[in-house]
């Protein structure tokens, strides 16, 4: 399931759900959501973005800079 909040991703991950962390862009405070997620998807960034570098470092798949999507955190 697509989750737009690192805290929620962590919670659901601990409950056994498989989640994808979906953000416009990530920030260091999202790291706990990275660990709980099966992968990360961002609408901004590229191969050297925070999301891509951190995901690569912890062995998680990441699609960074999917400019064809618009992430509206408020509407989910």
pTM for this prediction: 0.88
Query: pLDDT at residue 67 above 90?
Result: no
Query: pLDDT at residue 73 above 80?
Result: no
Could you tell me if 8 and 28 are in contact, meaning their C-beta atoms sit under 8 angstroms apart? no
No. of helices (H) and no. of strands (E), the chain? 3, 4
For the beta carbon of residue 26, count every other beta carbon within 10 angstroms: 25
Q: Mind listing the pLDDT tens digit for each residue in 6-64?
A: 999 999 999 999 999 999 899 999 999 999 999 999 999 999 999 999 999 999 999 99
For each of the domains in the chain, give its residue range(s) and CATH number, in order of start: 2-63 (3.50.30.10)
């Amino acid at each position: 399931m697509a989750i737009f909040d690192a805290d929620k991703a962590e919670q659901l991950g601990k409950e056994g759900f498989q989640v994808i962390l979906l953000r416009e862009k990530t920030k260091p405070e999202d790291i706990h959501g990275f660990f709980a997620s099966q992968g990360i998807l961002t609408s901004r960034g590229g191969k050297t973005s925070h999301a891509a570098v951190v995901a690569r470092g912890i062995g998680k798949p990441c699609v960074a800079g999917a400019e064809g999507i618009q992430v509206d955190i408020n509407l989910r």
